[in-house]
Amino acid sequence: MWLLDKFLSHAIIRGQMIITDYDGKEYSYGQGAVGSDGEYAPEVGGKPGPIRIRLTNKKAANHIARYPQMGAGEAFMWGWLVIDEPHDLRDMILFVTMNAKRLGDSSLKPKGPFRKLIQKAKAKVDGINLRSSARANAEHTYNLTRELYERFLDEDRQYTMAYYREDDPAATSLEQAQMDKKAHLAAKMHLKPGMKVLDIGCGWGGFALYLNKMYGVEVLGVALAPDQIKFSNERAAELGVSDMVKFELCDYRDVEGQFDRISSVGLLEHVGTIHYPQFFEHTNRLLKPDGVMISHCCGRSGPPGFTDAWTRKYIFPGGYIPALSELVTQSERYGWQVMDVEAMRFHYSHTLEEWYKRTVMHREEITEMYDEVFYNMWLFYLAGAEQSFRNGTMVNWQVQYVKSRDAIPMTREYIHHESERLRSIGEIPSWRFDEREAAE
């Protein structure tokens, strides 16, 4: 326990955390409502009292201290780390990272140049997404049961950042924020009826179907998770637009033809930096000379980095969140011109918070589908991701690429006006139907 004790004594400045080790001995960190810096520390998650944690296995403390990101996640998954009510995992993670942020460093990254070098090397290897591994990675992440995603996503199954336009995010439903996200992205594509669109990494088809409804465009959606494609085609058939909106189980590198517009929403995180040249070269070949490509992805507001080991192992194998410099410098080499960049700062933290709450709400069903370890893993993923966008340096990048500068209007006002017009129209009618019956 001495190593974990040393780490927490340094890290916890504001608020209070009390840990009971497996042998019953208590350790206290911080100074309650007033931190050691003399500043007032607000209640954690709006809940009174210190955060109380119990370690139920004698290996837990050492496992967490050796590498906090991996160790804490696994300890929680395995039931070695238990948070007492009224607080929960999300409270604990936001509490620790709020304190770490004030230290001027993450306090959660591997220490020492050698350990950092090892982590970076492993992340680089994990980021090699050949066609075979890319498919396996996609299936690992997105081919879980439909019922799981139905429990925590919005009705349209948007598994990317929602767009909270109001000053008070709590006043906007997840469903409304996701609809606003689609309108915001579509406006940046500068679409016209009759165009042909490629949606790379189409997910469960929501954005492709939205573009077809709002503009009457023809859309080809491609992805590598079989159930996503199956489900997307079911949706298109249910809406009677299968002739205009098609979904194929296909690697984007194998797509051929010419398109007026290309969208990639939540895709570049899975491409891998080593494959960025291939991505920008191939998409440049697919887009018409006067075309527009819009990319929406998670990003770093600082320099390039690497994906933490826990996320690479359990959630997004092969995944990497890029810095803006990596996206821009690579695209420039293959004939792209960047016309618009928007950093979406805290929107994803609010999205993840809502996903976390919906997951907790459906605990019984999720543990019945999988087990308690999976449920704990999913909670840790959502809460950990939220803190990265709330207390860390993660953002979402929306980057607009063109091959010719006259492909879009001269001023940015068209984005605002078109987004407003789309929001006034409304949303695709509810597609939801009894999936159990549909599967039979």
Task: Report the candidate in 181, 170, 189, 182 with the shortest Cα–Cα distance to residue 209.
Answer: 182
Tell the burial category of 264 from Cβ atoms under 10 Å away from its Cβ (0-12, 13-18, 19+): buried
The side-by-side arrangement of strands in the sheet containing 16-20 is: 26-30, 16-20, 51-55, 81-83
Average pLDDT over residues 81-104: 87
Q: To the nearest whole number, what is the mean pLDDT of the chain?
A: 87
Q: Which of 116-125, 220-229, 265-274, 318-327 has the lowest mean pLDDT?
A: 116-125
Q: Residue 308: its pLDDT value, please? A: 84
Which stretch of 59-63, 81-85, 86-90, 309-313 has the lowest confidence by average pLDDT?
A: 309-313
The domain made up of 2-102 is a member of CATH 2.60.40: no
Those residues whose C-beta lies under 8 Å from the C-beta of residue 378, and which sit 6 or more positions away, are 359, 366
User: Which alpha helices (DSSP H) does 287-362 contain, by range?
Assistant: 309-314, 324-332, 347-361
The reply to whether 2-102 and 131-439 are identical in fold is no
Per-residue pLDDT, 115: 47
Which pLDDT score is estimated for 313? Answer: 87
* Dist. CA 292–CA 340, nearest whole Å: 11
Does residue 123 surpass a pLDDT of 80?
no
Boundaries of every domain in the chain: 2-102, 131-439
pLDDT score of 435: 39
**Before 317, cis peptide (omega within 30)?**
no
Predicted TM-score of the model (pTM):
0.88
The CATH class of 131-439 is: alpha beta
Distance CA 218, CA 213 (A): 10
Q: What angle do CA 317, 323, 327 make, to 5 degrees?
A: 95
- Residue 242: count other Cβ atoms within 10 Å of its Cβ: 14
Name the least confident of 4-13, 84-93, 331-340, 366-375. 4-13
Q: Which residues, other chains included, contact 47 with Cβ-Cβ below 8 Å and sequence gap of 6+?
A: 86, 87, 91
User: Measuring CA to CA, which residue among 278, 282, 248 is closest to residue 262?
Assistant: 282
Q: Which candidate, 269, 393, 282, places its Cα nearest to that of 320?
A: 269
Whether 106 has a pLDDT exceeding 70, the answer reads: no
pLDDT at 59 over 60: yes
Characterize the bridge pairing of strands 196-200 and 51-55.
unpaired
**Confidence check: pLDDT of 127 > 70:** no
Residue 355 half-sphere exposure toward CB, CA atoms < 13 A: 28
Alpha helices in 255-407 (DSSP H): 276-286, 309-314, 324-332, 347-361, 363-369, 372-390
The average pLDDT across 11-19 equals 90
119 pLDDT more than 90: no
pLDDT in tens, 209-261: 999 999 999 999 999 999 999 999 999 999 999 999 999 999 999 999 999 99
432: confidence class by pLDDT, cuts 50, 70, 90: very low
Query: Which whole-number Å values give the CA distances from 295 to 17, 160, 339, in the listed order?
Result: 41, 12, 12
pLDDT of residue 167: 87
Between helix 68-77 and helix 372-390 the angle, nearest 10°, is 140
Structure tokens at 210: 């939205």
Q: What is the pLDDT of residues 177-211, one digit of tens each?
A: 999 999 999 999 999 999 999 999 999 999 999 99
Q: Which residues partner with 297 through β-bridges?
A: 397
